[in-house]
Amino acid sequence: MTQQTLAEIWYLLWAFLWGTYFTFEAYIVGTGILFPFLAKRKEEEQQLKKSIGPFWDSNEVWLIVAGGVTFATFPKTYALLLSSFYIPFYLILFSLILRGPGIEFMDKILSPSWKKKWIWILCISSFFIPFLFGVAFSAIFSGLPIDEKGMHLSFFDVINGYSILGGFTYTVLTLLSGCLWTSYKTLGKIQEKAALVAKIVWGAAVLLVFAYFIVFINFTTLFDSLENAPLLWSVPALCVLALLLTIFPLRKKKWLMSFVLASFAIFTLFASGFTGMYPDMLPSYIDPQYSLTLYDAAGSQLNLTVMLWVAGLILPLVITYKIWIYWLLKDKITEKNAQDYQ
């Protein structure tokens, strides 16, 4: 295969891996944000802990793979992205570090103040993870100040109306995902509360997703490239459709179906951004000719070929492992069987 073809394949894999990470991360951080508001008794706390405790660390595999692929196949993108978005990515890393102990440490010492502290650390760190990822990627999707001399990023190029809207959109979608996951995985009072909150959050998610697409279609160049490929408008259309359909199985208490639809909406939300950017990886709002395209950012042909063989070996193992984990831990979590989780 030519370098151009390999670069295009890797762009698809790169977008898929990031979208997959954001999808799997959603229900973990959504549950974390809602933890102090849903769980009012020790039994309910144990149910929520057990619903995400066995999964949160394995889900970070997708982040490691997505970051590793960015570094190995698109080194220029990796270098510019990490150096330009240093502060938000540092805060994300700090939040990821705190989120794990927030889940695992809250019951290590039998002290109300100790537990309360770690519960709120879990809640706050879980909020910043999706919000900052949404801010960072929405800032990229809306365009960056790149000219013939390179990128000249300021605070307001990262923190602006577009990025804040993206941050809150993804965060609210994670709340919906967390509620639906809790409804699916648990039984009892905690399930009823999560289902009730899900119906409220669903309405907010629909409004934000509509606002997100309206703003990005009308006020950015994100979807301009789709004018020549109208079939690709199906990606944002599928996002909206999946989110709208989520409410029907939710009302019928078909928790798994509603969770899958909400997860698909999250995946296609980010897929819409990656599709709209194509073939750019870091688009310029100053002039499209200064955008960093996937062809400019890609590594050598040998590098891309070797990495494709590596991905062909590793990705099936990761996917098989994930399927096995979810199958192994498929049972519902009750107040009784949740007590064995430490």
**Separation CA 301–CA 213 (nearest Å):** 36
Own/partner long-range contacts of 305-310 (Cβ < 8 Å, ≥24 apart): 305/1, 305/6, 307/10, 307/69, 307/72, 307/73, 308/6, 308/9, 308/10
Q: How many residues does the chain have?
A: 342
The CATH number assigned to the domain holding 267 equals 1.20.1630.10
pLDDT of residue 130: 96
State the maximum Cα–Cα separation within the chain, in Å, rounded to a whole number: 63
Contacts of 265 (CB under 8 A, 6+ apart): 173, 205, 209, 239, 240, 242, 243, 246
Instruction: Residue 130: count other Cβ atoms within 10 Å of its Cβ.
Output: 30
Phi, psi of 278 (to 5 degrees): -50, 135
Ranges in the chain, pLDDT < 70: 338, 340-342
Instruction: Specify the number of domains making up the chain.
Output: 1
Global pTM value: 0.94
pLDDT of residue 124: 96
pLDDT of residue 322: 87
Among all chains, which residue has been given the structure tokens 């801010």? 135
What does the pLDDT look like over 223-273, one tens digit per residue?
988 888 889 999 999 999 999 999 999 999 999 999 999 999 999 999 999
The secondary structure of 30-80 as a DSSP string is HHHHHHHHH--SHHHHHHHHHHHTTTHHHHHHHHHHHHHHHHHH-HHHHHH
Residue type, position 205, single letter: A
CA gyration radius, the chain: 20
Contact 136, 163 (CB under 8 A): yes
pLDDT of residue 234: 94
Tell me, rounded to whole angstroms, the distance of Cα 110 from its chain centroid. 34
The secondary structure of 239-305 as a DSSP string is HHHHHHHTHHHHHTT-HHHHHHHHHHHHHHHHHHHHHHHTTEEE-BSS-GGGSEEHHHH---HHHHH
**Separation CA 320–CA 185 (nearest Å):** 21
**Separation CA 127–CA 33 (nearest Å):** 6
Range of the domain at 157: 3-340
